[in-house]
Chain A
Amino acid sequence: MLDLIKSPVLTFQNFIRLSGMALRGVLRQPYYWDDIFIQMDLIGIGSLPVVILTGFFSGAVMALQMSRALQTYGATSQVGMIVSITLVREMGPVLTALMVAGRNASGMASELGSMTVTEQIDAMRALGTDPILKLVKPRLIATAFVLPLLTVIADFLGIFGGYVVACQMLKLTQGTQYWQSAWRALEYNDIAQGLLKPFTFAIVLSLVGCYYGMHTTGGTQGVGRSTTQAVVVASVWVVVLTFVISRIFTSL
């Protein structure tokens, strides 16, 4: 029984250690700006198509699903409000984070994992570079910067997707009414949690990706295992954290 608990506890302890070093590293010199911008491009621009598609269709499908219920109650004019609140508070941040977890946390784990098994991380340390500052920090900063931006894009496209379905396809309501109700429904509280969530997810998923990468053992098979673990763990953390943050905001 003790052995069963030992492994996850050790993993968590090592993860916290790496996170501590990386977060402390954010305040420490040197800053590898080239790497930071490369990662921003890779994560931000690279994830844009998938985020656009996910955002648009999640808003569209939400409007579609809600249409029947709202018609029953004669409240079709409220479709904009429902789509915008759900997207900005919850769906936008979570879906974007899950996409980035699948795309980038796995990428980080496999890239750093390959470097670990081919002794490149050791070589880096031996050649005078701290891998936390050179590899983890740029990925952390880049993800924390671009994920909220990607989320804003996903939110907007989701609301637009909702508009296309509700106003153009099903003619549930008029365009101006849709946009007005979507806009008026949002409060500062919604915007705050809609931006805090991706920021928190970004920190967690980039650190999870880097952690599994840097703790890879067992050659190429190990790289595959790390990649899978990184995506699974990062995705689970995203859903757990969204609950925690939502709980905090609902009690405010």
Chain B
Amino acid sequence: MSDSGSHPVVLAFENVSFSFDTEPLLTGITFELRRGEALVLHGAAASGKTLLLKLCLGLLRPTGGRISVFGEDVTHLREGEWFDVRSRIGVLFQEGGLFDSLTIEENVSYPILNQKRLQMTPSQVRERVETTLDFVELGHTLEKYPSELSGGMRRRVGIARAIATQPELLLYDSPTAGLDPITANTIMALIVKGRDLRSATAVMATHRHQDGDILHRYRYDRILNRLVPATESTRTRYLVLQEGRIVFLGSPEEFDACPDPYVAKFASR
């Protein structure tokens, strides 16, 4: 990461820990993410991936250490103070987290209408929703309800909702979990497209090594309107969690060469 020093730090964890009752679920988590970087978060089920993302969003409070988002120490922020920070973060939940009693249009417009930072007229909101849904190729689903869509389509709506406010930091929690390989690749292509068109910082929790591969080996070509192999660094890093501890943090090359048998299970070897 020779060029990373010139970019401001977007997300920083300093010796962060989280316990539930007396059981430690995350211990000694330390890493830093700069603007435009992508962090691929690997780990077995219940290794703490989702927990780490929830800590980034302030949905849970760490029991130890320090977290800063966009350079601001958020460790002890009160719920009411979090909303300004969260308005700059987009998130795709593991199960999509779509509001099932709202239409797709209402789901995607929800963050736009409910964030004080954004002041838009109804026509601007509608336009933004349409553009965002077109981005995920679901422009025709405005009036539908989440239950009327397939799993892959719901995940795409989730992505649309996450990027609707054009956030600076995007968190993806297992975006391809439970999807067939073709749909999973479509979702990954959208994530890469979002990264390259808007150069947002991203954290992606996943258990599929292909997801990380796509993120660091490909880039989106605007002219061809598809993914092409990346010729220069995509500024991707890997972090591997095992039972709430970091067992690996480094570049894709280091990740592929890591001798640790647990880490190797997530690498494409």
A binding-site residues for B, Cβ under 8 Å: 115, 118-120, 122-130
Contacts and interface: CB of A to CB of B under 8 A. Distances in A.
Interface in B57-89: 57, 59, 79-80, 82-83, 86-87, 89
B119 interface: no
B151 interface: no
A126 B79 contact: no
Nearest to A119: B97
Main secondary structure of the interface of B (DSSP, over half): mixed
A127 B97 CA distance: 11
A128 B93 contact: no
B54 interface: yes
A119 B83 contact: no
Given A128-B86, A130-B79, A130-B80, A123 B97 contact: yes
13 contacts: A118-B95, A118-B100, A119-B94, A122-B93, A122-B97, A123-B98, A124-B99, A126-B97, A127-B110, A127-B115, A127-B161, A128-B114, A130-B79
Contact of A126 (B91, B94, B116): B91
Contacts of A120: 97-100
Contacts of A126: 57, 59, 86, 89, 91, 93, 97
Interface residues of B, number: 24
Interface string B110-130: 110011100000000000000
B10 to A, nearest CB: 17
Given A125-B59, A129-B114, A130-B79, A119 B95 contact: yes
Contact of A127 (B94, B114, B116): B114
Given A127-B115, A128-B83, 14 more contacts: A118-B100, A119-B94, A120-B97, A120-B100, A122-B54, A123-B91, A123-B98, A125-B82, A126-B57, A126-B59, A126-B93, A127-B110, A127-B111, A127-B161
Interface of B: 54, 57, 59, 79-80, 82-83, 86-87, 89, 91, 93-95, 97-100, 110-111, 114-116, 161
Contacts of B59: 122, 125-126
A176 to B, nearest CB: 52
A123 B94 CA distance: 11
Most buried by B among A115, A126, A128, A129: A126
Contacts of A130: 79-80, 83
Contact of B115 (A122, A123, A125, A128): A128
Contacts of B115: 127-128
Nearest to A111: B101
Contacts of B111: 127-128
B80 A123 contact: no
Contacts of A122: 54, 59, 93, 97
A125 B59 CA distance: 7
Nearest to A118: B95
Nearest to B173: A119
B226 to A, nearest CB: 30
Contacts of B100: 118, 120
B156 to A, nearest CB: 16
A135 to B, nearest CB: 11
A107 to B, nearest CB: 13
Contacts of B86: 125-128
A125 B79 CA distance: 9
Most buried by A among B57, B91, B100, B114: B114
Contacts of B110: 127, 129
A230 to B, nearest CB: 19
Contacts of B89: 126
Contacts of B98: 120, 123
A125 B161 CA distance: 14
Contacts of A127: 86, 110-111, 114-115, 161
B22 to A, nearest CB: 14
Nearest to B83: A128
B54 A123 contact: no
A146 B59 CA distance: 34
Most buried by A among B80, B83, B87: B83
A122 B86 CA distance: 12
A123 B87 contact: no
Contacts of B80: 130
Nearest to A21: B79
A128 B57 CA distance: 11
A208 to B, nearest CB: 22
A25 to B, nearest CB: 11
- The 8 A-B pairs of least Cβ separation, nearest first, read A123-B97, A119-B97, A128-B115, A127-B111, A128-B114, A119-B93, A129-B114, A126-B91
A123 B86 CA distance: 11
Contacts of B57: 125-126
B202 to A, nearest CB: 15
